[in-house]
Amino acid sequence: MLESWNDGPAKSAITDFVARAVAEVPAEDRVAVFDNDGTLWCEKPMYIQLDFLLRRFKEQAEADPALREKQPYRAAYSGDLTWLGDAVTKHYQGDDGDFTVLLAAILSAHHAISVDEHAERVAAFYADARHPTLGRPYTACGYAPMVELLRYLEANGFTNYIVSGGGRDFMRPITGPMYGIPPERVVGSSVGLIYRDGDVFTTAEPEFLDDGPMKPVRLWSRIGRRPIFAAGNSNGDIEMLQFAQAGTRPSLQLMLLHDDAEREFDYVAGAERALDLAAAHGWVVPSIRTDWKTVFA
Amino acid sequence: MLESWNDGPAKSAITDFVARAVAEVPAEDRVAVFDNDGTLWCEKPMYIQLDFLLRRFKEQAEADPALREKQPYRAAYSGDLTWLGDAVTKHYQGDDGDFTVLLAAILSAHHAISVDEHAERVAAFYADARHPTLGRPYTACGYAPMVELLRYLEANGFTNYIVSGGGRDFMRPITGPMYGIPPERVVGSSVGLIYRDGDVFTTAEPEFLDDGPMKPVRLWSRIGRRPIFAAGNSNGDIEMLQFAQAGTRPSLQLMLLHDDAEREFDYVAGAERALDLAAAHGWVVPSIRTDWKTVFA
């Protein structure tokens, strides 16, 4: 177990905690929650879901020339993605101006289709798309040490959930094969749905943006239990880790540090506050560079 | 298995379907959804949750005399519950006037407390309250044949969920002991929640009323799979049964008929349309009087 983890404080903190949890926490309450983007799989140079959406924005701009003058369609159509990267970084730094524009486009990108048709569009994307710099399919961009951690927790009676700011229905088709996490244990952002004639359809109405303080709200709504293990990598994961830590049971918080420009990426933008809090509250901060023998399988 | 069920068409339909599902449907897609009120436990003479809420309304009316002139506090304070029964029956007949008044009171009954404190209030109620006419604790008002059905489905690889118009967090504390269904598999109506300082708190904002066409929406949002088995007993369950039936896989729909005034209750109010549709679409309609050997354990 945990073969891809180097011996060191991070690995020891995990194995020590798991031993304690097995001794002290009933199996049904051994709930572990994982952020997805940047925690279970690569989120650079941009969120994988953004690539999915950009392809759709480009389709939409090809069909409607007027859209080519508006963001984010202009970015998607031209291929100059500076605006997009800035919108996301600014969001994690507290400025939501452009992020709101992006969200509106996201909401209307796949509306008025059945959830089955949405899943087919997502599956078609994953079948085709590859990471722009890592030279592998997106479905091979999961972190091998984190997948090992999922299996290690499971082997010790934990139940793993994804709690991500990413789209719930963008993740569900691949979390089973990639992480062994079934659709019913994927919590994420969502658009409103509507029932009609035996089927459930997407709307263009926002439902939840599962990020920041919404993460503990959404995970509690879905699970009805307070997690004892929480892993993230950005400011959007802070409250989820705090919620796990504030319980009365032994708990572990993990804030992954992206510091390996050679094998993955090296960045802290959008994680500044999270890393400060990690130091202040005893959260474990695994370093990709020094704690992981391998990054991808 | 199914010892409390008499041999007959209902029992045969269940066992035939389960045999077919085991042969044709992968275990992970053997999803069964159950309404709660009137399907897994008794909903007469009033919803059990209404008793919980009435006790709270009465507390509130005792603390604030002005409330005693307003419904539903007047009903709770005086003990004359006619207004309440009528509000619910009219709701299922399409008239939501009084139901809206009731919902507003429900939303404010337990707001601004932590989800843990809410669970404690619910647990205190169940520890104390008894059914007004059946002479047993509410936690003993589950239908024994339905609990057997849950176990029978589980034994055949199904995963059971509750999908109820009742309050999600009113059900969660007892669905484990009563039905063997853990909190993470309870879908129900909910108020909005908010995160603050390591904890999740109730608000007085509505989130979801998990009834009618919202049942397939909410169950799909939570599970990400279309159920192949759906059980209900009222007009509020119609769309959930339709959703299960509209899939491409073998499926079974069950609409329980309350026709046993001696052992339980005899009523069809609020189920008229559901029973018509059951006849039209081949849904199984178990009769409590003739299909069940025993009603309560």
Q: What is the CATH number of domain A9-44+136-291?
A: 3.40.50.1000
Alpha-carbon torsion angle B63, B68, B70, B72, nearest 10: 80
Q: Cα(B84)–Cα(B75) distance, rounded to whole angstroms?
A: 7
A184:B223 CB<8 A = yes
Query: For the sheet containing B159-167, what is the strand order?
Result: B199-208, B186-196, B159-167, B31-34, B229-232, B252-255
Q: Which of B29, B113, B172, B184 to mutate to test the interface with A (most CBs of A within 10 A)?
A: B184
- Number of A/B CB contacts below 8 angstroms equals 79
Say yes or no for a CB contact (<8 Å) between B246 and A222: no
Cα(A122)–Cα(A116) distance, rounded to whole angstroms? 10
Mean pLDDT for the stretch of residues B220-236: 98
CA angle in degrees (0–180, nearest 5) for A225-A279-A8 = 85
Chain B residues touching A224 at Cβ < 8 A: 168-169, 172, 182-184, 186
Q: Which pLDDT belongs to residue A245?
A: 98
The residue among A126, A172, A178, A159 whose CA lies nearest residue A31 is A159
Question: Which residues of chain A have a CB within 8 Å of the CB of B227?
Answer: none
Question: Is the pLDDT confidence value at B171 over 90?
Answer: yes
Distance (Å, whole) CA A210 – CA B11: 43
Instruction: Give pLDDT, residue A132.
Output: 93
Q: What's the mean pLDDT when you consider all of chain A?
A: 96
Closest CA–CA distance from residue B169 to any residue of chain A (Å): 8
Q: Model confidence over B243-296: pLDDT tens digits?
A: 999 999 999 999 999 999 999 999 999 999 999 999 999 999 999 999 999 999
pLDDT of A85 over the 90 cut: no
> Position A77: which residue type?
Y
Sequence spans of domains, chain B: 9-44+136-291, 48-111
Contact B184 A222 (CB under 8 A): yes
pLDDT band for position A92 (cuts 50, 70, 90): confident
Convert the pLDDT of each residue in A147-195 to its tens digit. Answer: 999 999 999 999 999 999 999 999 999 999 999 999 999 999 999 999 9
To the nearest whole Å, the CA of B28 is away from the closest chain A CA by: 9
B297, B144 in Cβ contact below 8 A?
yes
User: Measured between CA atoms, how close is B185 to chain A, in angstroms?
Assistant: 8
Neighbouring CB atoms inside 10 A of A139's CB total 17
Contact (CB<8Å) B239/A195: yes
Spatial CA neighbour of B41 closest among B288, B290, B229, B293: B288
Q: What percent of chain A has pLDDT over 90?
A: 93
Instruction: Specify the higher pLDDT residue, B209 or B92.
Output: B209
* Chain A: residue whose CA lies nearest to B192: A217
pLDDT the model gives residue B35? 98
Interface test with A, best of B221, B226, B237, B283 (most A CBs within 10 A): B221
CA distance A145 to B209: 41
Query: pLDDT at position B89, please?
Result: 84
Percent of chain B with pLDDT over 70: 100
Dihedral, CA of residue B25, residue B26, residue B27 and residue B30, to nearest 10: -40
Greater confidence, B2 or A107? B2
* pLDDT above 90: residue B184: yes
Summary mean pLDDT of chain B:
96
- The DSSP code sequence of B57-91 is HHHHHHH-GGGGGSTTHHHHHH---HHHHHHHHHH
Inter-chain CB proximity A194 and B213 less than 8 Å: yes
Q: Which stretches does DSSP call E strand in A168-233?
A: 186-196, 199-208, 229-232
Asked if B193 and A221 come within 8 Å (Cβ–Cβ), the reply is: yes
Using 50, 70 and 90 to split pLDDT, how confident is the model at B69?
Answer: very high
**What is residue A235's predicted lDDT score, i.e. its pLDDT?**
97
Would you call B193 and A217 a contact, using CB atoms and an 8 Å cutoff? yes
Q: Do A194 and B186 touch (CB under 8 A)?
A: no
Nearest to B196 by CA among A35, A270, A214: A214
Q: Do B224 and A199 touch (CB under 8 A)?
A: no
Inter-chain touch A199–B239, beta carbons under 8 Å = no
- For residue B245, the model assigns a pLDDT of 98
Collapsing DSSP states into helix, strand and coil, what is residue A250? coil
Q: How far off is chain A from B214, nearest CA to CA, in Å?
A: 7
The reply to whether residue B225 touches residue A184, judged by beta carbons under 8 angstroms, is: yes
CA distance B193 to chain A (A): 6
Chain A contacts to B (CB-CB under 8 A): 28, 115, 168-169, 172, 182-184, 186, 190, 193-200, 213-214, 216-217, 220-225, 239, 242-243, 245-246
Q: Helix, strand, or coil here: B25?
A: coil
Q: What is the pLDDT of residue B46?
A: 86
CA B128, B130, B136, B142 torsion-angle sign: negative
pLDDT bin (cut points 50, 70, 90) of residue A46 is confident
CA B50 – CA B179 distance, rounded (Å): 21
- Minimal Cβ distance to A221: which of B190, B217, B246: B190
pLDDT of residue A197: 96
Closest partner residue to B184 (CB to CB) among A168, A223, A242 is: A223
Residue recorded with tokens 């793993």: A160
Structure token pair of residue B199: 């904890």
Confidence of residue B228 (pLDDT cuts 50, 70, 90): very high
